[in-house]
Chains A and B, each alone.
Chain A
Amino acid sequence: MFKILKYSFYDLIRSRWSYVYLLFYLLLGFALLFLNENISKAVITMMNVITILVPLIGTIFGVMYFYNSKEFTELLLALPIPRSSIFLGQYFGVAISLSLSLIIGLGVPFLCYGLFQSDSMVDFLLLLSTGTMLTFIFTAIAFLIGLSNENKIKGFGYAILFWLFMAVIYDGIFLISLIIFEEYPLDNLSLFATLFNPIDLSRVLILLKLDIAALLGYTGAVFQKFFGNISGLFVSFFTLLLWIIVPLFLMKRKAGKKDF
């Protein structure tokens, strides 16, 4: 698996798109810091970008890489290596190179603007780690969708639809159910609903760390109580991890049964 990972990774970091992605984050980072001159404000804007764009790019990139490397995958399949290591290797290659683009692309501008002197350091690290988690999650889902759909167009469509669901539609349903059940105590419901959407979960984790959390009022306090302590943080990171592990497990199973 590590050999495949190595080569996928080398292949990707030489691809034009990785540089476009990296450059995008570099520009974004510098632009935000240049315009704001205030790291914690830049972190907030960055959060919006990370919770929406990172999943989208992970999805598109993952599904694109999967279909584009189809023939190469077939070549590998005839070699004496287990199937699961081919796909896991490719997956980690994509996820790691995307994460690196993110970390370097955002990290460099923040370092240039004196991150270490700022107390936003923890926020920033949280931002990068959730961004990385989201990259791993959505790339895994993209690979799973790719594996399940021979048809490239269909696979692409499903992947985008999945992103759209998590980024927008889920929140719509969530909000409507909150309004329908407004007579009931809703804190636990919303806690639950947040926990099961990686985008929402990341957004709330970052929000709670920023001083904007004061706006969340009583509901925020409930969330703070849950996510603020070690076990809550553990639960949320475990859930995010589950979002990586479950698709990977399904991917492995699917790969084992599939004909090429």
Chain B
Amino acid sequence: MIQRVLFILIISTNIVFASSITVCTDCKYRNIKDALSASQQNDTIFVQKGIYREYNILVDKSVTIIGVNRPVIDGENKGEIIKIIADGVTLDGLFIKNVGRSYTQDNAAIRVTESSSFVLQNLILENLFFGIYIEKSHHGKILNNEIKGNAVEEYNSGNGIQLWYSESIEIKNNSISKVRDGIYLEFATNCTISNNVSFKNIRYGLHFMFSNNDTYQNNTFDNNGAGVAVMFSKEILMRKNKFINNWGAASYGLLLKEINDSEITENLFQRNTIGINIEGSNRVTYQGNDFISNGWAVKSRGACYTNRFLNNNFVQNSFDLSYNSKLNDNLFENNYWSEYTGYDLDKDGTGDIPYRPVKLFTYITNRTPEAIIMLRSLFIDIINFSEKVSPIFTPENLEDINPRMKMIRHD
């Protein structure tokens, strides 16, 4: 609180002393670079409507650059467009396009280096390599931006928003599409990612690497190469996100790899080849999620211990759960499984016989992946049924002893 008051104080005092500069096609300053070199600390630069063909714009003072009626900064594919190396910089209302593509440099539309307290908002970025690249910076905000790439292949495209060795960044209300990774975090901690829409990206909608204590919520990841990949990280909170339409031979809604002590709550996984793909993740709680119409709702590829699946809905997935070991150390309880065929004689809302989410066929395809070609063959239906009646191959204790009779409503 005190911090915030101080912050407001600082800003308001700044306004008192600061002056403003206007850039337009027939003003004194006809391009942004000139305006910047003429500006003082804490100045505000108003960029009027027009097309400014500039690149390598270096912002080395804490200034506020505001686009009026959405001016266009056209980098003409020559290199990086704006680089911020000062604290307290704000960019607002600009249309930035045509970042130079390079195989040796990660050119970005906006790069923030070793700075803090920046605000990047209401920007439109198009035809880019990297969009917003934050490195070794902290306490910044990226709000209400629209990032639209035209990536086709992974090797020659960049990410929409990238954080590298950064801390306490807020990414909110952005729309990111057609880049490599919508949002990429590497060594980024205490970040909050919320209400973003990340879609049609070549690789991941959101990608975590070695980033701890982050939260992402209320985001939509739609139709990406794969929805979200969270790798080698811990204490990540994932809430109320939508992972949808990540459909393809190697696709999934959410990939967890070496993730510990995290929480996955009230998310929606719909129409993904694999809802959640888990490898080597421990002590993760899955609660109140909806898994609807996925190929595999949850695919566990081993080394997963003490995870808990509680109060989730598993509805019309081809396979609810795939498991590649005979051992089970995970808990399934109080979930709703649309394939459950048991009964509830005592009318307590949970079935009287346990549900066994692993089918024999899933077990076989884990052993012999080629057997998947027998999907939907009559023989498979028969052996699945017999395994259901008397389990021999699938882990004996892998069962939900209190399966719900009705779908759980999450509000």
Contacts and interface: CB of A to CB of B under 8 A. Distances in A.
Interface of A: 44, 47-48, 51-52, 167-169, 171-172, 174-175, 178-179, 182, 186-187, 189-190, 194, 200, 203-204, 207, 211-212, 214-221, 223
Contacts of A167: 378-379
Interface of B: 247-251, 273, 295-296, 318, 364, 367-380, 382
B368 A182 contact: yes
B247 A207 contact: no
Contact of A220 (B372, B376, B382): B372
Given A171-B380, A179-B367, A187-B370, A214 B251 contact: yes
A190 B375 CA distance: 13
A51 B380 CA distance: 14
A81 B80 CA distance: 86
Nearest to B294: A215
B372 A215 contact: yes
A171 B374 contact: yes
Which 9 pairs of residues, A with B, have the shortest CB-CB distance? A171-B379, A186-B370, A215-B295, A214-B273, A182-B368, A219-B370, A171-B377, A168-B379, A190-B370
7 contacts: A172-B379, A200-B377, A215-B372, A215-B375, A216-B372, A218-B249, A218-B369
Contacts of B364: 175, 179
Given A168-B382, A171-B378, A216-B373, A178 B251 contact: no
B385 to A, nearest CB: 13
A196 to B, nearest CB: 13
A21 B400 CA distance: 42
Given A219-B369, A220-B372, 6 more contacts: A168-B379, A171-B380, A174-B374, A190-B373, A207-B375, A215-B296
Given A168-B382, A211-B247, A194 B373 contact: yes
Given A214-B248, A216-B249, A178 B375 contact: no
Contacts of B250: 217
A223 B375 CA distance: 13
Q: Is the interface of A mostly helix, strand, loop or mixed?
A: helix
Given A212-B295, A214-B249, A218-B249, A203 B377 contact: yes
A47 B376 contact: yes
A194 to B, nearest CB: 6
Contacts of A172: 379
Nearest to A167: B378
Nearest to B248: A214
Contact of A178 (B249, B370, B377): B370
B376 A223 contact: no
A178 B371 contact: yes
A215 B318 contact: yes
Contacts of A47: 376
B255 to A, nearest CB: 15
A219 B386 CA distance: 26
Contacts of A194: 373
A203 B368 contact: no
A168 B374 CA distance: 11
A219 B250 CA distance: 12
Contact of B373 (A52, A204, A214): A204
B392 to A, nearest CB: 14
Contacts of A187: 370
Contacts of B367: 179, 182
A189 B248 CA distance: 24
A175 B371 CA distance: 7
B295 A220 contact: no
Contacts of A215: 273, 295-296, 318, 372, 375
Given A175-B364, A211-B247, A212-B295, A217 B372 contact: yes
A175 B379 contact: yes
